[in-house]
Structure 1
């Protein structure tokens, strides 16, 4: 079981027990690496991976009722076990601390760890809570799902105001939890500087800003609670977000050929190319396109060509969505000026940049049979505005494959359909891992041969083909090495070689996918995957 490169570079303190847990509770990082009875009655005899009720970090009667209801509609015992293990994983294991701001007892805070790394990623924590949208409803109680969302939004707002270019953060001071160690960050030479007692990692990833907006929009759409966003620091955080993203729009060169000073740079002493940026930490040159330059991808890996197209898609979609929250605040008498219009205009420029520069012409795979060089248009993963493009996808969301999942476009979009076909082939995507155990998109973060279940889950979420869905589900059921949890990655030809047994985001996403199938294609849940 090979740990991921990120873990090799990180000696993170394992999560200690919350106040709601007994001192007799096992460390989940170790617990999740071994099998526990009762096993499922299917071919794979999957472990029971939930902590005992007294050891869970958050309890929700609504969640337990949903688990019972949905698992009863799943005929295959191994698939049912996977659902009951994975869907509650964030609530069971990753709610590291809940409390209130020292300066305002009414300001809820929620600190969520990503799993086996004791830090809070903006992207991961937002996605971890997305799993529970079906349970989110208006509720003023702090110990509710709505309270978890509000606490995470408030803490993310604080984090953005603390270091808006950073992606992962330490526990809030109010928690009394000691900051986790990240030796890899000790060699950082980052501008602007950051406080390592507050920041765990400072890679600028546009999707981190998009994740804050996504979490905000999701809460607002489910609860219609616009007033919440006017009570604490949300508007200030949006201002910081716009200023940060706006500083990363300009091209490398000015009108007279001068090299512009970059608002962000990152350099690190490392043996991995994906852990640092070229050109003294600035990255590859870019031409202004309307999109926002990102130093790193959603995988935390350094990008090649500056503009990560799916990250810009997600940013544009949720920036426009969040402008409606600002509209609502204005209607309630909060002074917002022209902020909503500014957000919509910025979103529109990014969308135009994606359409103009993110769509590229490529040779048709296999040709058209006539001997002529046939071409088609597809979305590139990254571009620089000068004509360079990375034709690939990465498993981490936002990905090109996931564009319909986060609502940038419909899954019937013609350019998307062509892109999707290429991404799910070895001929069109250098990081599509085909194997006897699982065939899925991976990425440079773990390397060739390592397929990511997260990408398989997204593949199901973007498919209407029963045959494709059943085939991919069968691979997922067979790929957990008996542990009954979604791994970060799996050797496509050997299910016993994997990275990260405790990855809450992937677990929650699997649960989301089962809920989606129950609504879209309930007959598939009646199938056997033995």
Structure 2
């Protein structure tokens, strides 16, 4: 017991502001190449901070990294895994503790990387990188404790500001707040500016809370945890908020219906505000779909119904009902709100799936010179018949539909959509000698996102496709040995954001997936 307590103390100390002053700022550290370099052609740097400067120590993760040294043959590929898989634990667990009003409620503040704020989507995905190693564990220095801390803090954020996506450190942490840049945004409903870093309504952010919750539950079967604290109340807020964003633009009498969320600001980037004085493009009535004001990239939607986010929300609602069932079964006096909530969530899931099938699948010409059509998934629709045919690198995406569990990899509509994504018919598919991958308007044309390449591997069963994509990933880090936000498709030396913990963790997650599905791909050279 003393050993556990000591390790928890050290982990908390490492994440404290006073301790971090003696360690280099990883935002600067990660821009430089550190020895020893890998023995491969690309001589990738070693980018893990020294052990005393890591923000969370997990012997389980460190052992997984060591064990993969005998599985991954290529020295550059192994170095890339060695650097990226632990990146969130090494650099992004900025604070861990307990709620001021409840010493049993664990909290964990996880930043996205070079921005000192916690995104619901990013932090959920950062933790999911370690899902394959997660087991039930009540000790305070465990991965399980870290998951619980993130879930509890996300629940608090949602209960306070359900339309917002990124948040400042909790009061208990005494951490300095990140500057928001003096935004000119006019946002409704109002929110606590001291607690919120950014308030863009992104449907996938709410889904991410359900997703990390189910991830923890599926690995640990810890029903008791979800019956404690504020989780059930937060789920009710998620459902209520989703339903509130199903309001159409026009009532039956033709008048304009008020929208519960609006966002408008002065900006030189069209993707940083919503059209029509902050309400966005018109949304049709009776679609069964939920509006999303912004995409997972934090860019504004062009049409209100973002299909990948609706897919994810539907799947995560369905998954979360299993948690509620378990809470009901395990509790001697369950919360009376659980029964109607569980029924509502299941019905909501079915109506969303019906809406996606009716409005999210659209006809396109199969060839440019004939009249043959094929059915594919649209990225965004409005219910009036308009559709945006593209995909974006950020998750959830159309490409990631099997990864989020919405459909199977061999689904015929998905396969046709996938073929279109990796072609010139996708306006944001970047092609070049350095990296061929989906990008998006967030960084702009010419910039391919390694994250999309990783998802391409995770959703593929084609050895040749996976091998060529791995080869590009290994060769496009500019020697830093970290997964960047984006890379110029023609010049790997031109990249954005070297410290992007989610993308790094996703790469590690993909390597562990290959070790199970395609181990022979790790037992070859990528030189």
Return the TM-score normalized by structure 2: 0.95
SS at match of 1:200: strand
Residue among 142, 147, 150 paired with 1:149: 147
- 1:329 Cα deviation (Å)? 1.4
> How far is the alpha carbon of 1:193 from its aligned partner?
1.1
Distance 1:381 1:340 in 2: 29
The answer to whether residue 261 in structure 2 is matched with residue 259 in structure 1 is no
Structure 1's consecutive aligned runs of 4 or more residues displaced over 3 angstroms after TM superposition are 19-23
Superposed CA offset, 1:300-356 (max 9, x none):
000011000000000000101001111111122312231111101011111111000
Alignment check: 8 A CA contact 2:17 2:175 kept = no
Please state how far the C-alpha of 1:135 moved relative to its aligned partner.
1.4
Partner of 1:109 in structure 2? 107
What are the Cα deviations for residues 199-229 of structure 1, in whole angstroms up to 9, with x where unaligned?
Answer: 0000000000000000000001100011101
Give yes or no for contact 1:205–1:297 (8 Å, CA) kept in 2: yes
In structure 1, stretches of 5+ residues that fail to align are 1-15
Gaps of 5+ in 2: 1-13
Match of 2:61 in 1: 63
Q: Secondary structure at the match of 1:337?
A: helix
Q: Secondary structure at the match of 1:377?
A: strand
Among 83, 86, 89, the residue aligned to 1:85: 83
Alignment of 1:466-485 (within 5 A): 466-485=463-482
Q: Structure 1 residues 40, 376: CA separation in 2 closer, same or farther (over 3 Å shift)?
A: same
- Map 1:124-523; keep pairs closer than 5 Å: 124-184=122-182, 186-288=183-285, 289-331=287-329, 332=331, 333-335=333-335, 336-366=338-368, 372-426=370-424, 428-523=425-520
Within 5 Å, which residues of 2 pair with 1:34-53? 34-53=32-51
Instruction: Check 1:267–1:19 CA distance in 2 against 1; reply closer, same or farther (3 A cut).
Output: closer
**Alpha-carbon deviation of 1:161?**
0.6
Distance 2:400 2:19 in 1: 36
Offset at 1:18? Answer: 2.5
Instruction: State the secondary structure of the residue aligned to 1:219.
Output: helix
After superposition, what is the alpha-carbon deviation per residue over 1:160-216, rounded to whole angstroms, capped at 9, x for unaligned? 0110000000000000012110115x3110001111210000000000000000000
Please tell me the root mean square deviation across aligned C-alpha atoms, in Å. 1.1
Q: What is the Cα deviation at residue 72 of structure 1?
A: 1.9
8 Å CA contact retained: 1:133, 1:222: yes
Distance of 2:372 and 2:62 partners within structure 1 = 54
CA distance in 2, matches of 1:20, 1:70: 35
Deviates more, 1:399-408 or 1:65-74: 65-74
State the aligned residue count.
Answer: 509
What's the counterpart of residue 12 of structure 1? none
The residue aligned with 2:7 is none
Question: Whole-Å Cα distance in 1 between the matches of residues 15 and 157 of structure 2?
Answer: 23
Other-structure match for 2:9: none
Asked if structure 1 preserves the Cα contact closer than 8 Å seen for 2:15 and 2:95, the reply is no
Give the C-alpha shift of residue 250 in structure 1: 2.0
| Partners of 1:20 and 1:55 within 8 A in 2 | no
Instruction: Determine the C-alpha separation between the residues in 2 that align with 1:20 and 1:270.
Output: 37
Residue of structure 2 equivalent to 1:26: 24
The change in CA–CA distance for 1:412 and 1:303 in structure 2 (over 3 A counts) is same
Cα distance in 1, alignment partners of residues 45 and 18 from structure 2: 24
* Cα distance, 1:21 vs structure 2: 4.3
Cα–Cα, structure 1 residues 30 and 17, in superposed 2: closer, same or farther, change >3 Å?
A: farther
CA distance in 2, matches of 1:116, 1:286: 36
Distance 2:61 2:485 in 1: 24
Cα separation, 1, equivalents of 2:68 and 2:334: 42
Under a length normalisation based on structure 1, what TM-score does the superposition of the two structures give?
A: 0.95
Shift of residue 17, structure 1, vs aligned partner: 5.5
Give the whole-Å Cα distance in 2 for the aligned partners of 1:453 and 1:498: 10
Secondary structure, counterpart of 2:339 in structure 1: coil
Whole-Å Cα distance in 2 between the matches of residues 397 and 22 of structure 1? Answer: 31
Residue 23 of structure 1: how far off its partner (Å)? 3.6
The residue matched to 2:409 in structure 1 has which SS?
Answer: coil
Q: Deviations over 1:132-182 (max 9, x none)?
A: 001111011121100000000000000001100000000000000121101
Aligned partners of 2:521 and 2:328: how far apart in 1?
46
Q: 1:37·1:47 contact (CA, 8 Å) conserved in 2?
A: yes
> Matched residue of 1:284: which SS?
coil
Distance 1:505 1:141 in 2: 25
- Counterpart-to-counterpart distance in 2, 1:401 and 1:319: 20
Shift of 1:32: 0.1
